[in-house]
Structure 1
Amino acid sequence: MTHQFDPTVLREYDIRGIIGETLGPDDARAIGRGFGSLLREAGGRTVAVGYDGRVSSPMLEHALVEGLTASGCDVVRIGMGATPMLYYAEASSEQIQGGIQITGSHNPPNYNGFKMVFQGRPFFGADIQKLGKLAAAGQWLDGAGTVTTRDILGEYVERMLEGLAGIDTAALAGLKVGWDAGNGAAGPALEALAARLPGEHHLLFTEVDGHFPNHHPDPTVEANLADLRALVADKNLDFGVAFDGDGDRIGAIDGEGRVIWGDQLLMIYAEDLLTNGGEKGANATIIADVKASRALFDHVAAHGGKPLMWKTGHSLIKSKMKETGSPLAGEMSGHVFFADTYYGFDDALYAGVRLIAASARLGKSVTELKSAMPNMLNTPEMRFQVDESRKFAAIAEVSERLTTNPGPDVEEVNATDGVRVNTKDGWWLLRASNTQDVLVARAESETEEGLERLLASIDEQLALSGLERGESVGH
């Protein structure tokens, strides 16, 4: 028995495809066979399996479990739920050595995919490519594993409530928060959590529906926050929190309806940790991806932390956290990772609890915390099509030019992930996506004129490599 995957589905951070076109049950079974074989070879045996609310998820879960057990792995089925519930099942039990969540995250309803964790670490990059090689060769271990079912919702909610430890919950009685689950997989956990939180909580779209009838579940797109914004205004709430389709990315707005972007949320979490985090907070290394605002890195430094800029990608950030011992990290995309008193994985529900906690400990409303942030002018993330064979080469050319002949305006060139260039006007970024045939650009300044000059610099560098910043494409 061998299996060939469609070349588009084995990606850098996860496995993702279109149901019935590039992804189906045979792929899920082969993923189970490969992952199970690798885990057994590494001395593990037990895998937790969960799935999101997409229509195709139960079918893929059934085939995945078949593949895992055929490779001799024992499976603990945790059922439908948010991705962080699967991460929690793996992280909180010494008896479980691996985890696989079937999820299409924030992709359109006809997509689905797999996120994996292997003996406590992210499973990505070369690991995922290894699954393809094992399938093509049919080099799987054989066995007959067992299947058990475990309901972890209750204990997961209890664990999240520990995010309010040490806070006088009576003082939060007047708190009013809006929550938007976007018909994603976090809905049931959100209902159970909100029922236990102090204060008044108003919930939107907690019914799981893989067609996403109300709006697309991607909280980093401002249009998707319209319902939450209306709720916060109508009920005069303190702030609002939104989730993506599988509950591992957070979006937020303050009491005035202003978006609090991923790097701005990290500013709040970092200030709380560095001020109130005791030994774990003192001089802590706080990690953010290369798309984050300069204001964040300055804010971390101003509160005694060590800011570290790192590559975009939740698996890459998690790995860097383990390497540096960082207790907190985040990305512009809304992935936030707490490893101070939590497990270091991205959990938007827990991040929502920690936003309540940070506001309480810092003695300021979320709206006050947002108002205190410097008023930077940012472009949105601009994504434009560049041929797969050209995208990394073009970035290398830009990096080479700016390193050898930076010109009078360039203050610093950072090549951590693509090219991030500091000038007196602010900074601009060009990087190649690891998952699509696109280049990503972003710029930030304190003035409109400065922003125009930064965009002109991006266009100049693209032109020198025979490219132009075309029409922006989606994720």
Structure 2
Amino acid sequence: MTAHQFHPTILREYDIRGIVGHTLFPADAYAIGRALGVLAAETGEKTAVVGRDGRLSSPELEAEVVRGLMDSGCAVRRIGCGPSPMLYYAATVSGTAVAVMVTGSHNPPDHNGFKMMRAGKPLFGAEIRRIGALAAAGFPENASSGTVSDWPVFADYTDRLVQDWDGGGRPLTVVWDAGNGAAGQVMTALSARLPGRHILLNATINGTFPAHHPDPTDPHTLEQLIAVVRDEGADLGIAFDGDGDRIGVVDGLGRILWGDQILQILAEDVLRQRPGATVIADVKASQALFDEVRRMGGQPVMWKTGHSLIKTKLAETGAVLAGEMSGHIFFADRWYGFDDALYAAVRFLGIIARLSEPLTARFDRMPRWVNTPELRFDCPDEQKFAVMTAVQAALEAEGAEMSLVDGVRVSTPDGWWLLRASNTQAVLVARAEAPDQAGLSRLMAALTSALERAGVRAPDLPV
């Protein structure tokens, strides 16, 4: 038996992720392939699909995953370089036992990792920990003999994206920014088949990300997109993260629409066709979103942050649409329920092309609260959950009105504040929202007080 130990930091809640050459190595990729082969066998069918992003380390890591899967006796199909949703699509339509995407997502160029599926569902949490246990126990020296073939799914995936275009007669001018990430080639092919004028930025896949970091939740990464939207008089701009599963949007004035605002526009359109349907958002989303979904006749559900958790909840509840503040958007209305920023772009652009007003006017009509950005501050892994337990106990003793879906989200006459422990980093995450600045200041003071009572000094939280 050949045993393998992973660096303790890389087995995360939603994926496996580390720094190449420091905490993540090709031997890890091989062990992941061997472990996934075990999981595939338990489904009764040793089949696998593998994809990769454009990072410099991805070809070697992908080759080792494939080798590990083959040594476990799997029939492996390689889809090559592309966005994570293309891998999800391939796995879904083929019904493969396991699927793995080699990607560092929106992390720096020297990072990489693995997003995985089993039997059409996201592989996360306890199953990722089981991969670690299987590797530690060891794999047989006598490897099985699997097979490998190439599967050029790019054209099928692009065709399927275009199939759901439902825009009106108003041609749009759209600026697209792939950030040199894995969505670039699909973005180019997709935009060429949509009506209107399309201006493409950073469409060439380049694992060093020379233009800017590929993370549309960071306003600095949208500066180039905003400038071109304004210069070209475009209707809007669309941005993608490094592996194409998260979307960013700016309107014609260059104003950023955050994940819950994008979801509000999508929900309005979906609920017009599917009245009473369930729409899910994570605990960091604005109260305005939940109120608007209810007003539009939908059933809003607040759920835990994390793309795997949201995806699973969507399947459990039969929801038609879900989203996160991070820009993950999940359609189960005419789509397959996984997060796909390219598909979300098609649906979003179709809505805007059918509107009787520009996106800027629709944005102006949105109900708005005053809120903080996501506030993240260091807290050791061995302390963060104990802090949350202490905060929750103190709030319960006070009789506070709160949701415990993910951390604590406390509601007061001023609005709400949230505190949760990150599942992927040694940090606590906070956010607050109120109808006005005075209310927001009181909420932040209450959050600071709750932390201090739990023995944590909140570092420079705005009040």
Structure 2 counterpart of 1:100, one-letter code: V
Q: How does 1:304-453 map to 2 (within 5 A)?
A: 304-406=297-399, 410=400, 412-453=401-442
SS of the aligned residue for 1:217 comes to coil
Match of 1:181 in 2: 178
Q: Deviations over 1:271-326 (max 9, x none)?
A: 00001x2xxx1201100000000000001000100000000000000110111000
Q: Deviations over 1:393-451 (max 9, x none)?
A: 11111111112213xxx5x2111000001111111000000011100000111211111
- Larger mean Cα displacement after TM superposition, 354-363 or 58-67: 354-363
Query: Does 2:102 align with 1:109?
Result: no
The answer for unaligned runs of 5 or more in structure 2 is: none
Query: Does 2:105 align with 1:122?
Result: no
- Larger mean Cα displacement after TM superposition, 28-37 or 397-406: 397-406
Contact 1:272/1:361 (<8 A) preserved? no
Structure 2 counterpart of 1:29, one-letter code: Y
- Larger mean Cα displacement after TM superposition, 351-360 or 450-459: 351-360
SS of the aligned residue for 2:164 comes to helix
Q: Deviations over 1:136-179 (max 9, x none)?
A: 111469421110001111111110112214x44xx13x211110
- Larger mean Cα displacement after TM superposition, 362-371 or 71-80: 362-371
Query: Does 2:1 align with 1:12?
Result: no
Q: Distance in 2 between matches of 1:471 and 1:108?
A: 26
Contact 2:172/2:353 (<8 A) preserved? no
SS of the aligned residue for 2:352 comes to helix
Q: TM-score, normalised by structure 1?
A: 0.95
SS of the aligned residue for 2:409 comes to strand
Match of 2:162 in 1: 161
Structure 1 counterpart of 2:84, one-letter code: T
Contact 1:385/1:470 (<8 A) preserved? no
Match of 1:34 in 2: 35
Contact 1:384/1:471 (<8 A) preserved? no
Match of 1:469 in 2: 458
Contact 1:254/1:367 (<8 A) preserved? yes
Q: Distance in 2 between matches of 1:303 and 1:424?
A: 24
SS of the aligned residue for 1:23 comes to coil
Contact 1:30/1:67 (<8 A) preserved? yes
Contact 1:4/1:132 (<8 A) preserved? yes
Q: Distance in 1 between matches of 2:103 and 2:217?
A: 18
Structure 2 counterpart of 1:14, one-letter code: D
SS of the aligned residue for 1:108 comes to coil
Structure 2 counterpart of 1:273, one-letter code: V
* Residue 240 of structure 1, CA deviation: 0.4
The answer for unaligned runs of 5 or more in structure 1 is: none
Q: Distance in 1 between matches of 2:7 and 2:184?
A: 32
Contact 2:180/2:202 (<8 A) preserved? yes
Q: Deviations over 1:203-257 (max 9, x none)?
A: 1000111111111000001111000000100000000000000000000101111
- Larger mean Cα displacement after TM superposition, 353-362 or 233-242: 353-362
Contact 2:162/2:346 (<8 A) preserved? yes
Structure 1 counterpart of 2:418, one-letter code: L
Contact 1:49/1:77 (<8 A) preserved? yes
Contact 1:104/1:114 (<8 A) preserved? yes
Q: Cα gap change, 1:471/1:246 in structure 2, threshold over 3 Å: closer, same or farther? A: farther
Contact 2:212/2:221 (<8 A) preserved? yes
Contact 2:288/2:368 (<8 A) preserved? no
Query: Does 2:12 align with 1:23?
Result: no
Q: TM-score, normalised by structure 2?
A: 0.97
Structure 1 counterpart of 2:189, one-letter code: A
Q: Distance in 2 between matches of 1:100 and 1:319?
A: 17
SS of the aligned residue for 1:87 comes to helix
Contact 1:85/1:156 (<8 A) preserved? yes
Match of 1:56 in 2: 57
SS of the aligned residue for 1:455 comes to helix
Structure 1 counterpart of 2:351, one-letter code: A
Q: Distance in 1 between matches of 2:118 and 2:422?
A: 24
Query: Does 2:249 align with 1:252?
Result: yes
Coordinate RMSD, CA, aligned: 1.3
Contact 1:69/1:75 (<8 A) preserved? yes
Q: Distance in 1 between matches of 2:397 and 2:278?
A: 31
Q: Distance in 2 between matches of 1:116 and 1:469?
A: 36
Q: How does 1:197-236 map to 2 (within 5 A)?
A: 197-236=194-233
Q: Distance in 2 between matches of 1:363 and 1:135?
A: 57
* Residue 471 of structure 1, CA deviation: 6.0
* Residue 366 of structure 1, CA deviation: 2.0
Match of 2:80 in 1: 79
Q: Distance in 2 between matches of 1:44 and 1:459?
A: 52
- Larger mean Cα displacement after TM superposition, 392-401 or 71-80: 392-401
* Residue 363 of structure 1, CA deviation: 3.7
Q: Distance in 2 between matches of 1:108 and 1:225?
A: 16
Q: Cα gap change, 1:366/1:44 in structure 2, threshold over 3 Å: closer, same or farther? A: farther
Give aligned pairs, total: 459
Q: Distance in 2 between matches of 1:353 and 1:297?
A: 24
Q: Distance in 1 between matches of 2:20 and 2:162?
A: 37
Contact 1:51/1:80 (<8 A) preserved? yes
Match of 2:263 in 1: 266
Contact 2:43/2:97 (<8 A) preserved? no
Match of 2:280 in 1: 287
Q: Distance in 1 between matches of 2:358 and 2:113?
A: 38
* Residue 361 of structure 1, CA deviation: 4.2
